[in-house]
Amino acid sequence: MKQSSEVGSRVPATLLLLLAVLLALTAVPVTAAPAAQAADGDAPSLTLSKKEAGKGGEITVKGGGWRSEALLMLLICGRSTPERGVIGGTNSCANADGRAVTTDKKGSFSKKLPVAEPPEPCPCVVHVATVTGEQAVVDAVFTVAGHPTAPLPPPADEGRLAVLATTRLEGESSLLTWFGAPPARQLVVTVGNLGSAPVEDPVFEIGTAHGVYAPQWEERQWRGTVAPGSKAQVKLPVELSAGAHGDYQVSLRYGTKVLAEQPWGVSRPWGVTLFWVLLCMVVPAAVFRIGMAVVDKVRPRPAGLVARHTHRTRRPAAQAPPAPAALPWFTQDSAPPDIRRSAPPENRPPPTTKGQAWTRNGG
C-alpha cells in the first residue's frame, strides 16, 4: 500500500511537469513573433493609453515599426478619421500643443502628449507623421471630452493623380533677395491621371517646412485638364517669408495624399548683414561727433579767452582811427607862438595874404 501511494503521488507531479513544458513551448512563439515581424520591416503602428480624455489631461502615445532614429510630430487633430486622414491639413490640429519625438534604433517610441482642443470639431485623431525623409503617417481614433462634434464633409472627387517624374525647383534669387526679399521659386512636377474620369482645374496644396516644424500648407490651383491616361506638367509658385534662409522642405499634396517632396537650400541674405554692420559703424561715429560738439560747447574757458572772444565778436567790421585830441585851454588862433610853431602842419592855421607877401619880400 505504501508503494502504491508513492506511485500515485509521482503521477500528478509528472503530469504537472509535462503541462509546464507544454505551456513554455507554446509561449515562445507568441513573444518572438513581434520581434521577427519588426525585423522584416512592419508598417508603422500607433497605440494610445486612453481613447478619450478632456482638455488639460495627458495621454501616452506609443509606436513601433517606424524608421530608425526618425523625427516624428505628434498632434491632436479635429475633423479627421484614420480612413480619410486629416481634412484641411495641420490647420485642423492643435499645433501649439504638439510634441516631437525621435524613434530609437528599433523604430519605437513612447511620448506623453497633453490633451488640447483642436480648432475643428471632432471626430478627432492623434496624428503622427515623420518630419523629414520618407513620408509616413498614422492616425489613431481619439475623443476629446467636451469638444463639439460635427459630421465630416462629403468626400470630393479628388481624381487619381500621381507623380510620373522627379520634381524640381526652377528660378534664381535676385538682388533684392540678397537684401532680405522673400525667396521665390516654381515647383515643376509631371502628373498623370490614373483614373477613368478627367481632372479639371485641380487644386493642389504647397507645404513649406523648416527644421522640426510641420509644413504650412497653402492652396494653389492649376488651370487645365488632365484626361484619363494622359499626363501634364504642372508649375506652381512657391514663396517663403522675407529674410528666410536655411534648409527647407517643399511638399506637394493633392487631397489627403502627399505626391512629392523637394528640398530647398536658401542662402543667407548677406546684404542685410552688411547693412547692420555699416549701421553699427556709422551710428557710433555720429554719436561721438555730436557728443564732442556738445562737450566743446559747454566746457568752461579761462576768463581772458572769454573776454577776447567777446571782444572779437562785438568789434565792428571797420573802425576809423581816433581823431587827435586838442588842447583844452587854447584854440588855434589864441595859442602862443611857440605852441603854434610846434603844432603839426595839418593843425597850423592857413597863412594870411599879408604874411605871404612879407615872406616873398624876404621879411
Tens digit of each residue's pLDDT (9 = 90 or more) over 145-155: 999 999 988 76
DSSP for 221-284 reads E--SEE-TT-EEEEEEEEE--TT--EEEEEEEEETTEEEEEEEEEE---HHHHHHHHHHHHHHH
> Do residues 132 and 71 make contact, with C-beta atoms less than 8 angstroms apart?
yes
- Cα 356 to Cα 339, 346, 352, 353, 363: the distances in Å are 21, 18, 6, 5, 10
pLDDT at 132 over 80: no
pLDDT of 49 reads 95
Q: pLDDT tier at 342 (50, 70, 90 boundaries)? A: low
* CB-based contacts of 208, cutoff 8 Å, min separation 6: 215, 216, 238, 240, 248, 249, 250, 251
pLDDT digits (tens, 9 = 90+) for 53-100: 999 999 999 999 999 999 999 999 999 999 888 887 888 999 999 999
pLDDT of 158 reads 52
More reliable by pLDDT, 175 or 226: 226
Q: What is the percentage of the chain residues whose pLDDT exceeds 70?
A: 70
More reliable by pLDDT, 287 or 325: 287
Q: What is the percentage of the chain residues whose pLDDT exceeds 90?
A: 35
pLDDT digits (tens, 9 = 90+) for 180-201: 888 999 999 999 998 778 888 8
More reliable by pLDDT, 281 or 13: 281
Lowest mean per-residue pLDDT among 29-38, 93-102, 152-161? 29-38
pLDDT of 72 reads 94
What is the grid cell recorded at 303?
Answer: 576768463
